[in-house]
Amino acid sequence: MTEQPRFELYSYWRTSATYRVRVALALKGVARRERNVDVDAGEQRSEAFLKLNPLGGLPVLVDLQAPGAAPLTQSLAILEFLEESYPTPALLPAGLHARARVRSIAGMCTVDTHPLITPRVRKYLAGEGRFDDAAWRAWQTHWFGTGLRAVEQRLAGDAATGTYCHGETVSLADICLASIIAVMRVFKIEVAGIPTVDRIMAACEQLEAFRQAEPRRQAGAPPA
């Protein structure tokens, strides 16, 4: 008999924000079942999905143990929810300044970088902005590069940086950083000159929680 999962995760194979939640659930050993929402086919605008999340965004996490509770949205809010619900293993360090450092690095990825390269931004730029494919790629490359070089500058030479972004323990900072790298790979974009980021990502890839979350390994992903 299989244990009933606590959560249902509405996801799409390549979305960065869903990746974060997948990794956090796996690190905390919390069972989920996933429901694929085909963003390329517009399923996030379907009547059935809009009933769940009227804003049409992914991921959505449904707490099956809390019937009647609103579905959880926004990946940072979900990560904090999981951290408070399952404190062990901790994905935030103990000290207040250390926690702020981890959340700040996470914000550099999820607030400063990722929102600029989402499908809705692409849609606007390709339409009203008259960006052709090359202009969109230049835009992607610019913001991924800007974000990752900033993270590199912050991590390199900071004594608080260790095997992972913060010391010797995986944290929300690693999850959010890896979520940027994961979509960059989907789009085949490379950023050079970020050795600290590269080293930390290699350490994360040693962990099954990160590996199982890779976009190409998800249901609905196209063949490589």
Binding site for a copy of itself (CB under 8 A): 54-55, 57, 63, 66, 69-70, 72-78, 80-81, 84-85, 96-97, 99-101, 103-104, 106-108, 110-112, 115-116, 120-121, 124-125, 128-129, 131, 135, 138-139, 142, 146, 150, 153-154, 158, 160
Give 72's Cβ-side CA count (13 Å radius): 21
Smaller CB separation from a copy of itself, 50 or 219: 50
In the complex, what is the shortest distance from the CB of residue 34 to a copy of itself, in angstroms, rounded to a whole number? 19
Contact criterion met (CB below 8 Å) for 180 and 115 = no
In the complex, what is the shortest distance from the CB of residue 104 to a copy of itself, in angstroms, rounded to a whole number? 4
Smaller CB separation from a copy of itself, 64 or 150: 150
Smaller CB separation from a copy of itself, 101 or 214: 101
Rounded Cα distance, 161 and 192, in Å: 20
Residue type present at position 171: S
In the complex, what is the shortest distance from the CB of residue 111 to a copy of itself, in angstroms, rounded to a whole number? 5
Smaller CB separation from a copy of itself, 19 or 214: 19
In the complex, what is the shortest distance from the CB of residue 54 to a copy of itself, in angstroms, rounded to a whole number? 6
In the complex, what is the shortest distance from the CB of residue 172 to a copy of itself, in angstroms, rounded to a whole number? 10
Contact criterion met (CB below 8 Å) for 30 and 6 = yes
Smaller CB separation from a copy of itself, 146 or 163: 146
Structure-token match 């300044």, residue found: 97
